[in-house]
Amino acid sequence: MSISRMKMLKISECLIGLAVVMLQSCDMADNRRDQLCGNWTSMEGKPDVLIYKEG
């Protein structure tokens, strides 16, 4: 299985773009997820459980 040079460049561009977006989002000091997604609350207070959106 061989990936062509053009496909490899496209994949690289996408991964670099994703890394830039992730680094910029982690750079923010305040939490703006509530403005984007609404008020989300964890059912058990743990990040790895099912969450629901009110309203």
pLDDT tens digits for range 2-43: 789 999 999 999 999 988 888 776 666 566 655 655 565 655
36: exposed, middle or buried (C-beta count within 10 Å: 0-12, 13-18, 19+)? exposed
**Domain range for 12:** 5-53
Q: What is the pLDDT of residue 33?
A: 59
Domain count for the chain, please give it: 1
pTM: 0.44
Q: What is the pLDDT of residue 29?
A: 59
* Predicted confidence (pLDDT) at residue 49 exceeds the cutoff of 60: no
